[in-house]
Amino acid sequence: MNYKNPTSRELQFARTLGRTVTTQRTQMQSPAKAQLRRTAHKRGAFTLIELLIVVATIALLISILLPSLKRARAQAKMAVSQANVRAIATSSLIFATENNDLSIPVHPLMGGVHGTVGEFEYGGKSGIGEPQSGNDPTSSKWGTAEGRGPATRGLNAIIYKGGLSDYQDNPGKENVNWLDDTRLDLAIFRAPSDTGYVGHHYSAWRDSGLTSYDHYGNSYAASTAWIGAPGPNCLLYSNSAYLKPMTRVPNPANTLFFLENCGLFGWRKSYGLDQCPFLSGGPLGPDVETVIKGWHAKPWHFATAFADGHAGMARIEGHNVPQPRLGAYPSHLNGSPGTYQGYHCVIIRGQGWQQDTLPAAPVLTTVECVQSGAIINPIE
């Protein structure tokens, strides 16, 4: 072939040869390229069946994990509540070392103002429940204006160094100071699971629809049981740890000290069995519920601290009426002097807990029969 001056026939032959070579090369490469294209197609999208399988798997995992997460959150809240009530008990024991005749701070109004017993006013913020003037929260029975503000609650001074400002006589512009006292976030006194009334308690709290923290200013109640006969001038005896020095609490590891407010009256489930009129009346009334749901989805179980400072979940569903060791107990037990006829009215105990401090003698308080709200006939 003349490469410098090819004839037309030679050019035609060269073009034909080139097309053949190109076609053969393309045919050799096409299977590999086709495989690559198929692989790329598979990697770039899911089929409908594959997508449905993925969605079903995710839904299954969520259904398995959600209950576990819910239980974990509930357990965390329970642990926080126990830590709170333990801290409150520890702070009260510190208070007791500085006040030899008391184990729990006593509110200044106790014994002087009707309805002031001290189960909530030992610590916490201003409540907004039971307003004394219409729906004004600053006029709450449990608030600063009524003398129960955070500055008057004794344990606050132990927990919050420097104390809290007293605004009882200084409401501020548009009552801003009183309102601020109701908005305090004193976390130690607020149970994270505090959802409000759950049965077997004061009707005013039930009707308010508030949490215990907002109604009373406190999610935790002190064990301030007025168990005992009226004494001179109709003054009540305290048979709990309240108003007693720790030296007169013979079994502190079992004695109720503080507990979630929803469980304050758990021991009264069986109140109708003991034939004690002052246990059958009082704040609950005749329509008391039979179940306390509690704040942790476990009926009758409440975060509780004991007088030795430890805390846990106590089951308080009614109370037992054990046979007394008569020789060890005071003879004057809500009956005629020299008798034991009322022993079953002052021995308030259950599995792992007790409300009373027997065999230590009851302490005469400054609370009168009528102030406690109980219907008791004084002993002549």
pLDDT value at position 287? 45
Q: Whose structure tokens read 């005992």?
A: 228
- Pair of tokens at residue 347: 């021995």
pLDDT greater at residue 72 or residue 315: 315
pLDDT greater at residue 18 or residue 146: 146
Q: What is the DSSP letter of 255?
A: B
pLDDT tens-place string over residues 261-298 = 999 989 887 665 555 655 544 444 544 557 899 999 89
Query: In sequence order, what DSSP letters do the residues of 69-94 get, joined into one string?
Result: HHHHHHHHHHHHHHHHHHHHHHHHHH
pLDDT value at position 282? 45
**What is the average pLDDT score of the chain?**
80
Residues 6+ apart with CB under 8 A from 163: 151, 156, 157
pLDDT tens-place string over residues 343-374 = 666 778 899 999 989 888 778 777 766 555 44
201: left (phi over 0), alpha (psi -120 to 50) or beta: beta
pLDDT greater at residue 69 or residue 178: 178
What is the rounded CA–CA span in Å between residue 10 and residue 364? 133
Q: Which of 191, 190, 193, 212 is nearest to 128 (CA)?
A: 212
Three-state DSSP class for 227?
coil
- Pair of tokens at residue 279: 């246990």
pLDDT tens-place string over residues 78-125 = 999 999 999 999 999 999 999 888 999 999 998 777 777 889 999 999
pLDDT greater at residue 237 or residue 334: 237
Domain ranges of the chain: 86-372
What is the rounded CA–CA span in Å between residue 265 and residue 229? 19
pLDDT value at position 334? 54
**Helix (H) or strand (E) run with residue 98 in it:** helix 48-98
pTM score:
0.78
Helical H runs in 250-307? 277-280
DSSP-assigned beta bridge partners for residue 304: 259, 312
Residues 6+ apart with CB under 8 A from 364: 231, 232, 235, 236, 237
pLDDT value at position 52? 78
